[in-house]
Amino acid sequence: MHRRLLPVLALLVAGWPALAGLAARQSAAADASAKTWLGHESPIEAHLRSAEVTKLEEIGTGVTRPRRAYLAPADPCASLVWKPLPPGHRAGHWESYKSEIAAYELDRLLDLQMVPPAVERQIGGETGAAIMWLEGPRSVKQSGGDVPSGPAWGAAIRRMVMFDRLIGNPDRNAGNILIGAPGELILIDHSRAFITDKSVQKFERVDAALWDRLRAVGDNDLRRVLQPWIDSRAIDATIERRTRMAATVDRLVKEKGRAAVIIP
């Protein structure tokens, strides 16, 4: 009996390095960042603006009916989300393709690193937002409907909440939060953001690093980045929301202490 087992054991031992290597590669793949645009923003933006569109198809999801455009060449990104939504109110909601671009530009100003590249371009005689299509990451909705929890995700969730409060985004839902590597959330679909309502939805904590950057950015910096895409009333509302967020943070710190509110 033992002699019969020896060849099997030898095979297992011989194959162990290969199995270990496969496990390591699978683990590395799971940990690879889904934010593939980081460090390559300029060439991706240029590609989104000028690459040839070879096919345009309905995505089939999203209330704003975005479409997917396939590009040639396929590098540095093979396709984009196409949103030619002119600014205006529809079914009780403010919608604009320009809000998509404003969200991306503000993300860059704040070094948030959560919103994929978005630029303005024309396709088929329409002007709209061309947004990088990300291969791989699934939405929270596709993954079961619950935002990941636990220490690795806390900072990303706080940053998402802060960003939505700042831009007045009423439409964050499980379908427009993508899940990347552990601790990574990617935010899409901002066509209903940058409303003129100055109120701020409730929040309890802020991410320390992002809060420092948000406080340090001047009003003129915000106007410079946002002015090409949203009107002066929407910019004023964004600035006022930041002021109200600061007042809320100050109040919470007095009530609960800094360590419970501003989280490193």
Residue with tokens 């967020």: 245
Structural domain contains residue 47: yes
From CA 157, how far away is CA 149, in angstroms rounded?
A: 9
Question: What range defines the domain where residue 104 resides?
Answer: 41-263
The pLDDT, as a whole number, for residue 164 is 98
| DSSP letter (8 states) at residue 133 | P
Taking the mean position of all CA atoms in its chain, how far away is CA 185?
Answer: 6
Total number of residues shown for the chain = 264
The pLDDT, as a whole number, for residue 151 is 84
Instruction: List pLDDT tens digits, range 165-196.
Output: 999 999 999 999 999 999 999 999 999 999 99
Q: 143: which 2 tokens?
A: 């993954």
From CA 113, how far away is CA 208, in angstroms rounded?
A: 15
The pLDDT, as a whole number, for residue 235 is 98
The pLDDT, as a whole number, for residue 152 is 86
The count of structural domains within the chain is 1
Structural domain contains residue 8: no
The pLDDT, as a whole number, for residue 166 is 98
Angle CA 36–183–109, to nearest 5 = 60
The pLDDT, as a whole number, for residue 17 is 42
Using 70 as the pLDDT threshold, list the residues of the chain that sit under it. 1-30, 61-64
The pLDDT, as a whole number, for residue 147 is 85
